[in-house]
Chain A
């Protein structure tokens, strides 16, 4: 099934011509409208006229999350405010949000990409889609919602949380498809079984899971427990949201909608482009976005591309599974968390605690857990249990407000966290990808 068969199956020549034409326009547009891009290009000695085709993309400077942060909130927008119809945001380092602005055309493009992903897994106008991604600043919920509506599905905007109600609605509304984070899908499946039901009580046939890295083992578990086929969907809010890439029925990696988002893989040390098939950092250039176009944006996701033909007929180059990050960002229950956010909460919380901490991330009963061990200062004046409980309570709430999700805080004696030579190892991630 295709949503836009012609565009999804462009020949190599057609695609390169389209990508070239769109890149030339985008570069012109950002050079004229976005001061930080103009400054970067001037510094690199590149003019818009130097970009004559998609192969010239390597001449352009990279864009990073730091650029977005330094131009917070709207400094990277290429459209006047009157043309921006939506803002989304995700958490970034130092607690500052990464803000994305969308024009009407951007929202429409995003919805079409999500619709392509839905069609690719077998959704039709008859299908009921249960959207259990969070709705709000997070792009997951609204992205899939608009995609589903555009295709004419019956969309159930459940959002995240309240598992008991999710199960009731899945049974009663007979959803054909579901989308949420893969870890939540496993959690939901286990709750279903705990409540005395099984996949037979549901009508699910397919699910689109993304917003965090997952494994083939998880895929098999979700498929078995929920009685559906589980597909990977990739996206990030900076580029638009979910649906930058999506798997087809053959489950051989996610097809990037590369008529809109041009992917490159670069070596993280030399920053040079790598040949297709080699693993490195994924970089995206948006080819038609108006509100906030991004040029060679470093996603920090580590993966490889695959351009071998896919039996489905789509020509979008495929993304292998994400194998980690080139920075220290953690994705916990679908939420981006930077250790530096936790660190600044620790530093400002109480003078009796030190700056030595260690974060342990795990996946227990298929839900991400985070424990943060923090050392007390050697000379902390503490002689009552209540003082410890108060320090812990305040620190827990400071961390929750800094990162937006809850963590289990444990105070430990000074010196009990292993000191490392050189760069401190702040995080132990016991989850398996």
Chain B
């Protein structure tokens, strides 16, 4: 029950994100979710695509540093307090979140939240025990 993402190293200069999306477009890959962390010099772009392996191959061929990571994902109802409920569980279990991003599909009344943690299995089982609705790659 994990969600696989790609992480891409970017130098913080103009045109790099456009180049990233051009490479995936040429490879015929669809981007489903994306988030960027950046500093003055560097950025890390994280994305989920409909074919991560194909994306990584295409990106590496075009001079990007790309790798894949597994995240824990869960869906929450689209209303106030839903995210806090989950974060509160993680906080009490002393689970540290490396980063987090979310997306919602317009066709659904729920949002998906993805978190990076050290122990995927342990985190997933704690969330499941607390009745949180875990998701996997298929949700996309």
Contacts and interface: CB of A to CB of B under 8 A. Distances in A.
Contact of A412 (B11, B44, B60): B11
A382 B67 CA distance: 7
Contacts of B65: 376-380, 382, 413-414
Contact of B44 (A377, A379, A382, A415): A382
Given A377-B65, A378-B65, A379-B67, A384 B41 contact: no
Given A378-B65, A382-B67, A413-B64, A388 B99 contact: no
Nearest to A382: B9
A413 B13 CA distance: 12
A411 B41 CA distance: 9
Interface in B113-132: 116
A384 B64 CA distance: 16
B30 interface: no
Contacts of A384: 37, 44, 98-99, 116
B63 A414 contact: yes
A416 B99 CA distance: 28
A385 B64 CA distance: 16
B44 to A, nearest CB: 6
Nearest to A386: B98
Interface string B1-24: 000010101110000000000000
Contact of A383 (B10, B38, B67): B67
B42 interface: yes
Contacts of A412: 11
Nearest to A354: B65
Interface in B42-71: 42-44, 46, 60, 63-67, 69
A385 B42 contact: yes
A59 interface: no
A389 B7 contact: no
Interface string A404-427: 000000111111100000000000
A13 interface: no
Given A377-B65, A378-B60, A378-B65, A383 B7 contact: yes
A388 B42 contact: yes
A380 B66 CA distance: 7
A12 B109 CA distance: 100
B11 A413 contact: yes
Contacts, number: 58
Nearest to A373: B11
A416 B116 CA distance: 29
A321 B65 CA distance: 46
A365 interface: no
B63 A383 contact: no
Contacts of B69: 381, 383
A388 to B, nearest CB: 5
Contacts of B63: 413-416
Nearest to B60: A378
B107 interface: no
Given A380-B67, A383-B67, A388 B44 contact: yes
Nearest to B45: A383
Nearest to A388: B42
B1 to A, nearest CB: 19
A389 B60 CA distance: 22
B93 to A, nearest CB: 21
B39 interface: yes
Interface in A366-409: 376-385, 388-389
21 contacts: A376-B65, A378-B60, A378-B65, A380-B67, A381-B69, A382-B9, A383-B7, A383-B46, A384-B37, A385-B38, A385-B43, A388-B42, A410-B41, A411-B9, A412-B11, A413-B9, A413-B11, A413-B64, A413-B65, A414-B64, A416-B63
Interface of B: 5, 7, 9-11, 37-39, 41-44, 46, 60, 63-67, 69, 98-99, 116
4 nearest A-B residue pairs (beta carbon)? A383-B7, A415-B63, A381-B67, A376-B65
